[in-house]
A and B are shown apart, each in its own frame.
Chain A
Amino acid sequence: MTESTTSTIANKSDLERKQIRRERISLVLKDKTFLVGAFILSFWIILAIFGSIIAPHGAGDQDFNFVSHSPTSKFFFGTDANGRDVFSRVILGTRLIVVMAFSATILGTVLGTSLGLATGYFKGKFDMIVMRLVEAISAIPVLIIALLAIAALEGRSPTLTVIVIGFVFTPNIGRTVRAAVLGESELEYVAAARLRTERTRHILFREILPNVLPPIIVEFTVRLGYAIFAIATLSFLGAGVEYGSPNWGSQIAENWGNIYSNVWWPTAFPALAIASLAVSINLISDSLLEIFEL
């Protein structure tokens, strides 16, 4: 997919390419799918920043007169089995997952882009060895690698989880970027830069990188969605975050047993939160995919 993107605009001049890019950006900004996604995402980002001011109760505050109580005017989303306010815990859980997902995806994208630039530009033996390694890693489900690595490093720390997810994403992002770079490095402007005896660093980051940005941005948004899934799943399994902290995955893990006695609210609201965050990011990546890959 990415290769066709680069090849369709490949034989156009620099000026035309800039024009196309500008048109695409204005298309994205007019796209309803993108706008809805961006709206929901900014809602969650605002909650992530100002959550501690907005939340009516503290994350650990317990009210023993209201244990597993259904939603009321005092507790909008009801309370859990420990008498804690589900509404506040959902709001306070936003920051961790948003910060973790963005950091992990940024890390993975930076590493993957470097890997893709290097393998796609230098090719040869280095490229071959790295690609075989990438294949070996992709034979094992991502979630299992992450679970293993987190267990191996004995981590309930969010930082560690971010690093692990970033590294797990690197091979896939690297492959996407590599495909785009392979197409680009055949083009005249790269040959011209080589003839001008520009430094390799200049060619990679100043010449090629700006031209492979669209697939990288699309890949970033797709991975961001996966990162939300991965973090929620890992924390649901009790890996990667402190247990009992107000994060959505552990809230579900702590409470889902109670849905069988009809106490659905402590599970449903964090689950809805995860779903809506994931949906918003998917809307954005869907819209970008549609516009950039045509």
Chain B
Amino acid sequence: MHKLNQIFQALTKLLLVLVGATFLLSLIVRLLPGSPADFYTNAFNEEDRLLQIKALGLDRNAFSSYAHWIFDLVRGDFGPFFMSGGSTRPTSLIIAQSIPRSLLIMLYVQIVSLTIAIPLGLLTAYRADKAVDRIISTGLFAGSAIPGFALALSLGYFFGVRLQLLPTIGYVPIAEGLGEHFKHLILPVASLSIPLCASYARILRAEIISTLRQDYVTMAVSKGISNSRVLIKHVLRPSSTSLITTASLNMGALIGGTVIIDQIFALGGLGQQITFAIFARQYIALQSYIALIAIAFILFTVLADLLIGVVDPRTRNRNV
């Protein structure tokens, strides 16, 4: 009951954050030079022009426009995507196309990064300052220090152009063949995973090293429990809280923040749609995209808190 109450409180707090963030955003987009009224009307006389502006919903003031948008959003309507001549089509059509891509890519990136990072973190921490650790840690450092797009371009060049092994452009939905789907995503997922995996492993390594200094670990070892059992059973769990927090914070950023990788590999995910919306003055659509990212951010933050409570019961009574 107490836990439920806590989750409820966290959710309300975060919902307020969502409303605040999107309202701020709706004000910022109004500052963008060149109103969509100029972009998307093509009438020759003023009267028709005003009609078109009304049809686009651009005659409303900031507050009324925001109220309309959030009311629609609650009902699952992502608002109008402006078309030339005062017509609109639902933004949900674009979201329905780009969100599955972004979500799948995010999921693949997290799975790949975590499955590689966790063993590496364990190994480097267990063998801290030995040769193995030195070599792997240097590699991890390099991985986390190289900008994502430099990585994306070089991977694209070697595997796409030089070796002609992998496609470098486009997205293929699962429905059109699982093999092609994965083939098209190997390079983008690798470009996103390498830096992420490196930073995850480094976070885990640092935390495991400090857990290894705890008395209860010495105790467990002196009781004769095997090293691998101590590492996995007694050390990994309490050491994973920072990793869980960081990984969940990355969820939102991976859904919409992968602007460049989206662009280089022409994936048509949410990141690419956001850049397009900014430059094409798609106010309402942009607000909906960002709201989706913020909602993801909120959900994953709460999920991470719950998960940390399960993984490390000591934190359960902590005030979130």
B23 smallest CB distance to A (angstroms) = 9
B218 smallest CB distance to A (angstroms) = 20
Number of interface residues of B (CB under 8 A): 44
Q: Are A132 and B20 in contact (CB under 8 A)?
A: yes
Find A237's partner among B31, B154, B252, B260 (CB 8 Å cutoff): B260
With contacts A136-B24, A139-B252, A237-B260 taken as known, whether A262 is within 8 angstroms of B161 at the C-beta atoms is yes
B224 smallest CB distance to A (angstroms) = 31
Name the residue among B20, B144, B146 with the largest chain A CB count within 10 angstroms: B146
A-B contacts, CB under 8 A, total: 116
User: Which residues of B are interface residues toward A (Cβ below 8 A)?
Assistant: 16-18, 20-21, 24-25, 28-29, 31-33, 141-142, 144-147, 149-150, 153-154, 156-157, 160-161, 168, 252-253, 256-257, 259-260, 263-264, 274-275, 278-279, 290, 293-294, 297-298
B105 smallest CB distance to A (angstroms) = 15
| Residues of the B chain whose Cβ atoms lie less than 8 Å from the Cβ of A132 | 16-17, 20
Q: Are B156 and A236 in contact (CB under 8 A)?
A: no
Q: Are B142 and A279 in contact (CB under 8 A)?
A: yes
User: Which residues of A are interface residues toward B (Cβ below 8 A)?
Assistant: 132-133, 135-137, 139-144, 147-149, 151-154, 225, 228-229, 232-233, 236-237, 252, 256, 259-260, 262, 264, 267-268, 271-272, 274-275, 278-279, 282-283, 286
> Given the complex of chains A and B, what is the CA–CA distance between A109 and B216 in angstroms?
40
> Given the complex of chains A and B, what is the CA–CA distance between A147 and B256 in angstroms?
13
> Given the complex of chains A and B, what is the CA–CA distance between A240 and B106 in angstroms?
28
Find A153's partner among B31, B154, B156, B294 (CB 8 Å cutoff): B31
Q: Which chain A residue lies CB-closest to B30?
A: A152
Can you list 8 A-B contacts with CB-CB less than 8 angstroms, sorted by A residue number? A137-B21, A139-B18, A139-B21, A140-B25, A154-B33, A233-B260, A237-B259, A260-B168
| Residues of the B chain whose Cβ atoms lie less than 8 Å from the Cβ of A142 | 257
| Residues of the B chain whose Cβ atoms lie less than 8 Å from the Cβ of A141 | 252-253, 256-257, 293
| Residues of the A chain whose Cβ atoms lie less than 8 Å from the Cβ of B147 | 228-229, 232-233, 271, 274-275, 278
Q: Does more than half of chain A's interface fall in helix, strand or loop, or is it mixed?
A: helix
B30 smallest CB distance to A (angstroms) = 9
Q: Does more than half of chain B's interface fall in helix, strand or loop, or is it mixed?
A: helix
| Residues of the B chain whose Cβ atoms lie less than 8 Å from the Cβ of A233 | 147, 149, 259-260
> Given the complex of chains A and B, what is the CA–CA distance between A275 and B143 in angstroms?
11
> Given the complex of chains A and B, what is the CA–CA distance between A147 and B275 in angstroms?
8
A134 smallest CB distance to B (angstroms) = 10
Q: Are B278 and A151 in contact (CB under 8 A)?
A: yes
User: Nearest 4 pairs between A and B by C-beta?
Assistant: A141-B257, A136-B20, A271-B150, A282-B145
B146 smallest CB distance to A (angstroms) = 5
| Residues of the B chain whose Cβ atoms lie less than 8 Å from the Cβ of A274 | 147, 150
| Residues of the A chain whose Cβ atoms lie less than 8 Å from the Cβ of B32 | 148, 151-152
| Residues of the A chain whose Cβ atoms lie less than 8 Å from the Cβ of B294 | 139-140
19 additional A-B residue pairs with CB within 8 Å, beyond A139-B294, A151-B32, A152-B31:
A135-B17, A136-B17, A139-B293, A140-B21, A140-B294, A141-B252, A144-B256, A144-B274, A147-B278, A154-B33, A232-B147, A237-B259, A260-B161, A262-B161, A267-B157, A271-B150, A271-B153, A272-B150, A282-B144
> Given the complex of chains A and B, what is the CA–CA distance between A275 and B145 in angstroms?
7
Find B150's partner among A135, A140, A275 (CB 8 Å cutoff): A275
Q: Are B157 and A237 in contact (CB under 8 A)?
A: no
